[in-house]
Amino acid sequence: MTNYSKEIDEYLQQLFPITRSIMGEGNRKTLKILQEIVPLEILEYPTGKDVYTWTIPKEWKIKEAWIKNSNGEKIIDMLECNLHVINYAQSINKKMSFSELKEHLHYLEKLPDAIPYRTSYYNANWGFCVSYNQYQELFKEGEEYEVYIDSKFIDGSLSIGELLIEGKSKKEYLISCYLCHPSMANDSLSGVLTAAFLAKELLAKQDQLEHSYRIVFIPETIGAVAYLATHEETMKKVKNGLVLTTCGGPGQLGYKQSLDKENSINAMIEEVFTENGIEFITYPFDIFGSDERQYSSQGFKINCVTISKDKYYEYDYYHTSLDNLDFVKGKYINETLNLYVQLIEKMDKNISYKSLYPNGEVMLSKYDLYPKTGGALLPNSNISALSIILWLLYYCDGTIDLYEISNKLQVDMQLLYNEAVILEEKLILEKN
């Protein structure tokens, strides 16, 4: 088991305060910090670029945002919490009554200490987010307030971090996370750091990898759409994917199933949970969620899954200032990271082989794979290496993978993989 808990805590402290959005310097700063962990390439897509039905928007630059009361005292200030201002808010400099201002204040009565997170990416608007306690204590009918947001929109670029880790095969798995949320630790900083340290683990084992891994750090939705549009041919060949998010809370582990719940990636996750003695929650696929919506769209149909630890929508602090570093810890993220590592170990060895000698039985003694003395072999419940070899030669026609064969035989896939590698080295099987 890997233990990056201390390092993850250090990066949580470093990354948490950064004001991120779908575009901007906060995202680029985040990606540059992540380059300390793994060698990401940073891709830039300019404002105005069409990506399917979407267009890359202008970049939002926010300098300051505050509200002063009639005594000239700052009562709300984004420098104290960057969630105080609506993400992508328009600029404003105006004095107004409470009756006018309150239409632009957002709060949560059910969580009176929490500042909510709100956005206005594609709709010109402005507003502030406050805790319900602040709303009750700081704002009064009949009082006048000065409202100031210093923001502007410029032609800029959408930033994406990319790392392709090449294995023996060009067949790829996708690992995706989103980095656009500011100062929220579970959604989605936990996924960003899980992806970074998972990439670090894969790089350390690169010479052993059967598959290749395409890892992307993107702003949610628009980033996934942009990446698909600019890598369409490549992405249509991707086998399966992992969307990493909300995996760092103190609550129960679970996973969101892929588009096709019969896809083997779902069973593999459940095996990992069971092998670790973990009771887990199963969330069926639905169209609400994260970027699996884009990757699983009709043109791509990539089966993506998410391992969660306090899944989005499900925990009380979702999209609030209480999703902070008191709630999320490096040890929780590290726990989820280890489950992803174990999952990828299964995924990586799930190969489809094809026999180079499909006509009749292969003369195994010719390859030193058969007992020197014949006549003593009897079928029994303890499957032997020879039995595995014979079953592999029976099943491996290029249409069935090792995971499916392991289920048919009720044999650990690692055992099948070990024998398949020997048959491949002896030029009896080839990867399909």
Domain ranges of the chain: 5-57+157-348, 59-154, 352-431
With helix as H, strand as E and coil as C, how does the chain read? CCCCHHHHHHHHHHHCCCCCCCCCHHHHHHHHHHCCCCCCEEEEEECCCEECCEECCCEEEEEEEEEECCCCCEEEECCCCHHHECECCCCEEEEEEHHHHHHHEECCCCCCCCCECCECCCCCCCCEECCHHHHHHHCCCCCEEEEEEEEEEECCEEEEEEEEECCCCCCEEEEEEECCCCCCHHHHHHHHHHHHHHHHHHHHCHHHCCCEEEEEEECCCHHHHHHHHHCHHHHCCCCEEEEECCCCCCCCEEEECCCCCCCHHHHHHHHHHHHCCCCCEEECCCCCCCCHHHHCCCCCCCEEEEEEECCCCCCCCCCECCCCCCCCCHHHHHHHHHHHHHHHHHHHCCCEEEECCCCCCCCHHHHCCCCCCCCCCCCCCCCCHHHHHHHHHHHCEEEEEHHHHHHHHCCCHHHHHHHHHHHHHCCCEEEC
Q: What is the pLDDT of residue 371?
A: 81
Q: Which CATH class is domain 59-154?
A: alpha beta
Q: Tens-digit pLDDT profile for the chain (432 aa)?
A: 789 999 999 999 999 999 999 999 999 999 999 999 999 999 999 999 999 999 999 999 999 999 999 999 999 999 999 999 999 999 999 999 999 999 999 999 999 999 999 999 999 999 999 999 999 999 999 999 999 999 999 999 999 999 999 999 999 999 999 999 999 999 999 999 999 999 999 999 999 999 999 999 999 999 999 999 999 999 999 989 999 999 999 999 999 999 999 999 999 999 999 999 999 999 999 999 999 999 999 999 999 999 999 999 999 999 999 999 999 999 999 999 999 999 999 999 999 999 999 999 999 999 999 886 444 444 554 678 899 999 999 999 999 999 999 999 999 999 999 999 999 999 999 999
Looking at the domain that runs over 352-431, which CATH code has it been given?
1.10.10
Whole-model pTM: value is 0.95
Q: What is the pLDDT of residue 372?
A: 65
CATH topology of domain 5-57+157-348: Aminopeptidase (3.40.630)
